[in-house]
């Protein structure tokens, strides 16, 4: 039997499955076909929730005697956009000038293809790792992410699965393979501010209460002063006001209502709870300011509504895991990667509740773009890095 040792062949098989969220598109089936000859038991639980599409997921485990390493990722991909703008069709896996084109090439079917090739090479030459290896793959990362990684982790944990470490194969490298390992992520929170005023004639402001004045006062308090200057491991906390909406087409009418929405990315100076309290505090104080509202006797009448669930900040402090990975990068490409907590959130924020987690994958430059593509040379290099990492991590034993 031929084992899936060639990452390019693995990736081509995955790209040819049109698995735009929430469609499975055959991608999990293709994975199962690769994993079974390697000794993995494969399960494909489907999760449902009212108001969201049913999602198929995959959990595969190759059991051994020793520690348990989990590789996590997703086979769903974002839509292709304008298909006519692609140089090569998005689900054909065509290769040109040493690059394979296709949706998901780097985000993140490519990472999965390389990890499977790495395990396959280990199985072929050394009979496979001594401990257990599992793949936790969702079909719902790019979508609502409700029937994906969170439920898959709960499902596996309820069946007694325990992991000693996890690696997420998202494309973490900004420019070149080996640039960056992610060892944590900032937290994220979004909210809406609704200011209620009193409608009136722009020429008679004393008879009205312009909510735009109130909203400007509140927005100002969110932007200044800075929340912090950053920490040893994280960049500074940053808040962006992402929209201000009044919807008033008349220049001579003071509107009745104004709203703003904002997003804050916060570092480990804060928790979701303390940053929410800080924002409440700033707004309450600012609501009493007269700067833009001279002559008004009441405070700004506002409401703050938090949107979605907060993403919590985390930092992985597992030397064995981080050193095994960064050492493997150094051994294969000759330089040490930066250890970073930059960028947006990822499914690692859910995994961190179960075991230490780091992220390392391909180069992210073309992700979500037309002509998403990966250098075949990068597929081979990442496979070698993963292969070395698997060997190293199991050799180090559980600390």
**Residues in the annotated binding site for Zn(2+):** 74, 107, 142, 170, 368
From the list 69, 108, 114, 145, which residue makes contact with Zn ion (rule: CB under 5 A)? 108
CA–CA dist 74, 57 (Å, integer):
9
Q: Which residues pair with 223 in a beta bridge?
A: none
From the number of C-beta atoms within 10 Å of its C-beta (0-12, 13-18, 19+), residue 21 rates as buried
CA–CA dist 69, 80 (Å, integer):
33
Interface segment toward Zn ion; rule CB under 5 A; list 6-14, 146-154, 164-172, 236-244 = 164-172
Smallest separation (angstroms) from Zn ion to the CB of 175? 18
| Nearer CB in complex with Zn ion: 108/279 | 108
Strand 68-74 relative to strand 132-138: parallel, antiparallel, unpaired? parallel
Give me the 40-79 binding string for Zn ion, x by CB under 5 A, dash otherwise. ----------------------------------------
CA–CA dist 161, 43 (Å, integer):
13
Nearest to 104 by CA among 179, 25, 219: 25
Smallest separation (angstroms) from Zn ion to the CB of 78? 9
- CA 170, distance to chain mean position in Å, is 8
Give me the 118-157 binding string for Zn ion, x by CB under 5 A, dash otherwise. ----------------------------------------
Residue 141 a catalytic site member: yes
Interface segment toward Zn ion; rule CB under 5 A; list 8-16, 86-94, 102-110, 304-312 = 102-110
| Nearer CB in complex with Zn ion: 105/183 | 105
Nearest to 296 by CA among 193, 154, 152, 197: 197
| Nearer CB in complex with Zn ion: 128/364 | 364
**Using CB atoms, what's the residue nearest to Zn ion?**
107
Residue 382, SS3?
Answer: helix
Smallest separation (angstroms) from Zn ion to the CB of 231? 26
CB 172 within 8 A of CB 360: yes
Q: How is residue 239 written in tokens?
A: 């808040």
Smallest separation (angstroms) from Zn ion to the CB of 137? 12
CB 263 within 8 A of CB 242: yes
Q: Is position 359 an interface residue for Zn ion (rule: CB under 5 A)?
A: no
Interface segment toward Zn ion; rule CB under 5 A; list 24-32, 101-109, 123-131, 132-140 = 101-109
Smallest separation (angstroms) from Zn ion to the CB of 336? 24
Residue 397, SS3?
Answer: coil
Give me the 18-37 binding string for Zn ion, x by CB under 5 A, dash otherwise. --------------------
Residue ranges for the binding site?
74, 107, 142, 170, 368
Give me the 212-241 binding string for Zn ion, x by CB under 5 A, dash otherwise. ------------------------------
Smallest separation (angstroms) from Zn ion to the CB of 170? 5
CB 347 within 8 A of CB 138: yes
| Nearer CB in complex with Zn ion: 101/227 | 101
Which of 24, 99, 140, 141 is an active site residue?
Answer: 141
Interface segment toward Zn ion; rule CB under 5 A; list 26-34, 162-170, 192-200, 256-264 = 162-170
Which of 76, 99, 372, 378 is an active site residue?
Answer: 76
Q: Which residues pair with 196 in a beta bridge?
A: 257, 301
What letter would DSSP give residue 58?
E
Strand 180-182 relative to strand 338-340: parallel, antiparallel, unpaired? parallel
Nearest to 367 by CA among 97, 165, 115, 141: 141
Residue 284 a catalytic site member: no
Smallest separation (angstroms) from Zn ion to the CB of 365? 14
| Nearer CB in complex with Zn ion: 258/357 | 357
Alpha helices (H) along 224-271: none
| Nearer CB in complex with Zn ion: 107/209 | 107
| Nearer CB in complex with Zn ion: 99/170 | 170
Residue 168, SS3?
Answer: strand
Q: Is position 107 an interface residue for Zn ion (rule: CB under 5 A)?
A: yes
Strand 184-185 relative to strand 314-315: parallel, antiparallel, unpaired? antiparallel
Q: How is residue 35 written in tokens?
A: 């994993």
CA–CA dist 315, 185 (Å, integer):
7
* Residues of the shown chain interacting with Zn ion in the complex, contacts defined by CB under 5 A: 107-108, 170
Q: Which residues are catalytic?
A: 76, 141
């Amino acid at each position: 039997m031929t084992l899936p040792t060639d990452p390019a062949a693995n990736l081509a098989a995955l790209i040819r499955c049109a698995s735009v969220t929430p469609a499975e598109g055959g991608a999990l089936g293709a994975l199962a076909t690769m994993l079974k000859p390697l000794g993995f038991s494969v399960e494909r639980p489907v999760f449902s929730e009212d108001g969201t599409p049913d999602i198929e997921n995959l959990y595969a485990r190759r059991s051994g005697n020793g520690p348990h390493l989990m590789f996590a990722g997703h086979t769903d991909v974002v839509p292709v956009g304008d298909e006519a703008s692609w140089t090569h069709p998005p689900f054909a896996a065509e290769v040109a000038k040493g690059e394979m084109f296709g949706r998901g090439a780097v985000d993140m079917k490519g990472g999965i293809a390389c990890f499977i090739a790495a395990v396959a090479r280990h199985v072929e030459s050394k009979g496979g790792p001594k401990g257990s290896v599992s793949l936790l793959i969702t079909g719902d990362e790019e979508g609502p992410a409700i029937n994906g990684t969170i439920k898959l982790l709960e499902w596996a944990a309820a069946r007694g699965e325990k992991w000693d470490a996890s690696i997420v194969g998202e494309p973490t490298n900004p420019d070149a393979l080996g640039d960056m390992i992610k060892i944590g992520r900032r937290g994220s929170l979004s909210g809406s501010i609704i200011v209620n005023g009193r409608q009136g004639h722009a020429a008679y402001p004393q008879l009205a209460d312009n909510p735009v004045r109130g909203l400007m006062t509140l927005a100002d308090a969110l932007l200044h002063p800075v929340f912090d200057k950053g920490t040893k491991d994280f960049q500074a906390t940053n808040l962006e006001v992402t929209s201000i909406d009044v919807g008033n087409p008349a220049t001579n009418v003071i509107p009745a209502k104004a709203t703003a929405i904002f997003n804050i990315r916060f570092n480990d100076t804060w928790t979701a709870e303390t940053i929410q309290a800080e924002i409440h505090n700033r707004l309450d104080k600012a609501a009493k300011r007269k700067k833009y509202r001279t002559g008004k006797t009441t405070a700004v009448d506002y409401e703050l509504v938090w949107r979605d669930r907060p993403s919590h900040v985390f930092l992985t402090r597992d030397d064995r895991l981080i050193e095994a990975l960064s050492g493997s990068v150094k051994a294969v490409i000759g330089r040490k990667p930066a250890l970073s907590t930059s960028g947006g959130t990822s499914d690692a924020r859910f995994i961190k509740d179960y075991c230490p987690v780091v992220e390392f994958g391909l180069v992210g430059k073309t992700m979500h773009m037309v002509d998403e593509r990966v250098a075949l040379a990068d597929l081979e290099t990442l496979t070698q890095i993963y292969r070395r990492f698997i060997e190293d991590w199991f050799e180090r034993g559980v600390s």
